[in-house]
Structure 1
């Protein structure tokens, strides 16, 4: 089968989602109205609450939610063949992720830019909302911990990315000053910033940077983890306009260019999909992935649906929405961008990798998941080289840079969001010292750092399944909260658009969490066993409480009828 057909089928489906499905949902159910005063204007402080151009905000939201997950997840999932991963990415983007992200963003903008946990407190119950925030905090902890390890490994393995990756921080800082302090126009600033970013790529190839083998007993991976968290802590307390917004925006442009290169190469090379459509489930791999169902649906989270998106939507993005109708553009189109990245990853893995290794077959293809990000970088690099003639090393650097920059922007947002939750806990429980930005940031950095530094030796594989299950459980809980809001607003028909995907992903992710609980216990990994057990118990309590509220709403409706 020609890979171009996969690309075309995906694009046609995404077009249906954007032009028809999202338009109907946003107009008929959410009823987006630009006369509504958004929190960015009502509570403007030019630190967290800042009205943003919808294209800039889309860039921030897209890159904050993308990270490395829509690359890692699909690259792992192709061990079962291209068909399951392809179907889940396409259907998940249209009917799950887009609705989830847009709904969470809408709910937060309508509720003073509050987090989804606080919104749960308002509409479901105070105690339930506090439990919800525990799940959110754990997801952020796993995201930051896993991505810290991913960035460190990429930095060690691809030393040519160091100069452009860290140079992107300087580019973003200058860009923020140019737009917000000196009021320069967005388009020319964008052009200069993108040129500067790509000018750093050949410089990185010419001058690779590596850290010493050991410093104070810390290896190279551990050293990068330390540097990353120092940076993330500083970045999380800066005003969003100074670094977060411009960094995410220019990274969004960089991703857009990267996707153009990848998809243009697919059209030019039109490689064959050498992977089988479906491969029987593997029973002896070290990741513990024994079943396509339900494990597929927690392996591919970002790129299909992800609870982390709801945290970002209701955490940083909702505080920057200029006009209410921007919610559809930023929320739904942001999820489509991530779906496009996941689709490109699948094609790179099942068609591009065969350009590097022509001996792959059904017996050996299942081991492809071990490559993870490496499969995407090598397969995508081969496609770009064959299609556009860009040298293999430069192509691989570009794709590895994409991974590092997205994971880093997710860490920036993730640490900031952890800080928000810690400060909220300070307010809820009247713990004065946690209310301060400095202490809350230190706590956020320290807890995430502990997860990352413990994963440096064996990578992020151990925590990835737990992250996937917890992340998807959070997505189902976010959909459940938005369903309650819609039901309380008498939008009974529209709530089905949310309740159907909520039910499906809740069953799949809860099933997956139970499987992993047994796996971790048998492996005597008691830290992850404990975290998994906490997630399961808290999720049960939140679901039961929300179902009680939904039942009461429906009973009242029946009684009034």
Structure 2
């Protein structure tokens, strides 16, 4: 089958989802109102609460939620065949991720920019909220530790990505000053910023940076890990307009440039070259390697970002809701942010299913479960761009590796900021005030401790990563339960939240139980992961039960009085 056909069908599904379904959610379910005073205006402080242009905020939101996960997940899950991955990415983005991301952004905006953990306390109860915070803390810890290792692997394995990775910080700082201090127009600033970033990519391809085995008394991996945590700590403490917003915005634009190159390579390669890009991966793989888990339920937790992800709800409620200029911007920022991630996952499927040169090479890469990942994406995508648009293989690899590094880095520094919020919330719950500097130091200390817990090569950063998929998806289902409770209390249609909630909770809970059995295998037990999995399972059950009770109570109680702005929307619709 032609890669072009798969690309066009996927693009059509995602575009129709945004044009039609997101409009239905915005108007009929959430009833977004541009006259509502958002937390960014009500609580503006110039640090976390900053009214932001929707395009810049979309860039921050999108690159923060994307990271490397929408690349890694589909690149691993394609071992079951390209069709299951394609269906879950496209329809999951439209009906699951879009609803979840837009809904959590709306829910937080309607509650003064409170985080999902704080919303759990209000809508589910204090006991459920306490357990909710446990799940959130573990998930964010997994993200910052694992992404530090992933980024380090790319910086060491693709040294041409070093200069553009760190040079992007300078570009972001200049963009922030130009937009916020000098008040220059966004479009020319964007063009100059993207040109500068891609110039750094070309420079990096010509001047790769390879650190010696003994650099400042430590190895390259240790140096990059420590540097990343120091950078993340500083970035998380700075006002969002200085670095976080402009860095994420420029990264978001460069992602779409990179995706345009990838999709353009498929189109041009199919129409104008002799070597047509064909899918070499099986449509449905019935001959998976020994030890590969069953497609159901593992597909639904292997591909999280790019279909639905609980981490997105933390970004929506942790940073994005505090920067939303108008409530109506939530459709573009939240739902289209999910669509952007779906486009990245679809591009990954095209790269690893159609960019790998032959069936034999594909089978060589996917000789066991867990293979593929970012390296398969870089290899396949690089081949597509070289064959389709003539971009040299080394430069193509640099473009894709830099893309992966920059997204993982933005997710990591946003994760540190979010985990700082969680530490402060835990302190508040314990009646112990923790300022943001001390909270950040605690986060960095715990993150570095986990990352180096198994040696200076950083393998400890991936120690608890096997729990990420199930934890992430359980958190998504619990976030959907909060959205559903709010809708029920307002007497609006909760089905767009309840239907994804049920499927995601069942699949992720099923996967967590299967993992529990694996961790307790007498031949190769892993008691740390077993205990953590038990904690996550028990916490999720408890929160789910309390959420169900809260839903029933919300249905029996009197409807929540409509705010003045909601009554105004109703009048406008009647007119």
TM-score, normalised via structure 2 length: 0.92
Deviates more, 1:525-534 or 1:470-479: 525-534
Displacement of 1:217? 6.5
Within 5 Å, give how 1:13-52 maps onto structure 2: 13-52=13-52
Distance 2:226 2:528 in 1: 22
Distance in 2 between the 1:463 and 1:343 partners?
A: 27
CA drift at 1:460? 6.6
| Corresponding pairs, count | 549
- What does 1:169-188 align with in structure 2 at a 5 Å threshold? 169-188=169-188
Q: How does 1:137-152 map to 2 (within 5 A)?
A: 137-152=137-152
The residue correspondences of 1:226-265 to structure 2 (distance < 5 A) are 226-265=226-265
TM-fit CA distance, 1:343: 0.3
Mapping for residues 28-427 of structure 1, pairs under 5 Å: 28-215=28-215, 218-270=218-270, 271-280=277-286, 282=288, 284-285=290-291, 289-354=292-357, 357=358, 359-360=360-361, 365-367=366-368, 369-427=370-428
Question: Does structure 1 retain, via aligned residues, the 8 Å contact 2:365–2:371?
Answer: no
Aligned-partner Cα distance in 2 for 1:424–1:552: 26
Kept after mapping to 2: 8 A contact 1:116/1:311:
yes
8 Å Cα contact 2:148/2:461 also seen in 1: no
Q: Deviations over 1:212-235 (max 9, x none)?
A: 213476432222111110111111
CA contact (8 A) 1:142 1:451 kept: no
CA displacement at 1:554 relative to structure 2: 3.4
Deviates more, 1:242-251 or 1:439-448: 439-448
The answer to whether the Cα contact below 8 Å between 2:70 and 2:344 also exists between their aligned partners in 1 is yes
| Distance 1:361-1:204 versus aligned 2 partners, 3 A rule | closer
Q: Per-residue deviation at 1:16?
A: 1.8
Q: What do the CA deviations read for 1:160-194 (whole angstroms, capped 9, x no partner)? A: 00001000001101111111122222111111111
| 1:420 to 1:109, Cα distance in 2 relative to 1, 3 A | same
Structure 1 position 556, deviation (Å): 4.9
Cα distance, 1:361 vs structure 2: 6.4
CA deviation map 1:134-158 (0-9, x unaligned): 1111111111111111001001000
Task: Say if 1:378 and 1:396, in contact at 8 Å, map to a contact too.
Answer: yes
Is the 1:281–1:290 contact (alpha carbons within 8 Å) kept by the matching residues of 2?
A: no
Q: CA separation of 1:481/1:374 partners in 2, compared to 1, >3 Å: closer, same or farther? A: same
Alignment check: 8 A CA contact 1:66 1:302 kept: yes
Bigger drift between 68-77 and 265-274 goes to: 265-274
State the alpha-carbon separation in 2 of the partners of residues 394 and 304 from structure 1: 29
Distance 1:25 1:171 in 2: 36
d(CA) in 2 for partners of 1:121 and 1:424? Answer: 11
Asked if the contact 2:289/2:367 (under 8 Å) is kept, the reply is: no
Name the CA distance, whole Å, in 2 between partners of 1:282 and 1:224. 36
Q: Do residues 428 (structure 1) and 429 (structure 2) align?
A: yes
Question: Within 1, Cα distance between the matches of 2:156 and 2:388?
Answer: 28
2:562 alignment counterpart: none
User: Compared with structure 1, are the counterparts of its residues 363 and 391 closer, same or farther at alpha carbon in structure 2 (3 Å cutoff)?
Assistant: closer
Q: CA deviation at 1:371?
A: 2.6
Q: Which runs of 5+ in 1 are unaligned?
A: none
After TM superposition, give the deviation of residue 531 of structure 1 in Å. 1.8
2:494 paired with 1:495:
yes
C-alpha RMSD over aligned residues: 1.8
CA distance in 2: counterparts of 1:120 and 1:364, whole angstroms? 43
Residue 550 of structure 2: aligned partner: 549
What TM-score do the two structures reach when normalised by structure 1? 0.95
| Whole-Å separation in 1 of the counterparts to 2:369 and 2:2 | 20
* In 1, Cα distance between equivalents of 2:197 and 2:34: 35
- Kindly indicate whether the alpha-carbon contact (under 8 Å) linking 2:100 and 2:480 is maintained by their aligned counterparts in 1: yes
Give the secondary-structure state (helix, strand or coil) at the position aligned to 1:370. coil
Instruction: Show CA shifts across 1:338-367 (max 9, x none).
Output: 00000000010010012xx45346687454
Q: Counterpart of 1:512?
A: 511
Q: Distance in 2 between matches of 1:9 and 1:85?
A: 14
- CA drift at 1:309: 0.2
Measure the CA separation in 1 of the matches of 2:551 and 2:365.
49
Q: Is the 8 A contact 2:74 2:303 kept in 1?
A: yes
Q: What is the distance in 2 between the residues matched to 1:460 and 1:483?
A: 35
Deviation at 1:40, TM superposition (A): 0.2
1:23 counterpart SS class: helix
Matches within 5 A, 1:530-545: 530-545=531-546
**Inter-partner Cα distance in structure 2 for 1:358 and 1:341:** 23
**Displacement of 1:369:** 4.6
Query: CA–CA distance in 2 between the matches of 1:552 and 1:415?
Result: 36
Which shows bigger deviation, 215-224 or 163-172?
215-224
CA distance in 2, matches of 1:555, 1:119: 20
Distance 1:229 1:413 in 2: 12
2:287 and 2:215 map into 1 onto residues whose CA distance is 43
- Tell me the residue number matched to 1:439: 438
Does the Cα contact within 8 Å between 1:235 and 1:243 map onto a contact in 2? yes
Name the residue aligned to 1:448. 447
8 Å contact from structure 2 (residues 481, 501) kept in 1: yes
Aligned mates of 1:517, 1:418 — CA distance in 2: 26
Question: How far is the alpha carbon of 1:396 from its aligned partner?
Answer: 0.2
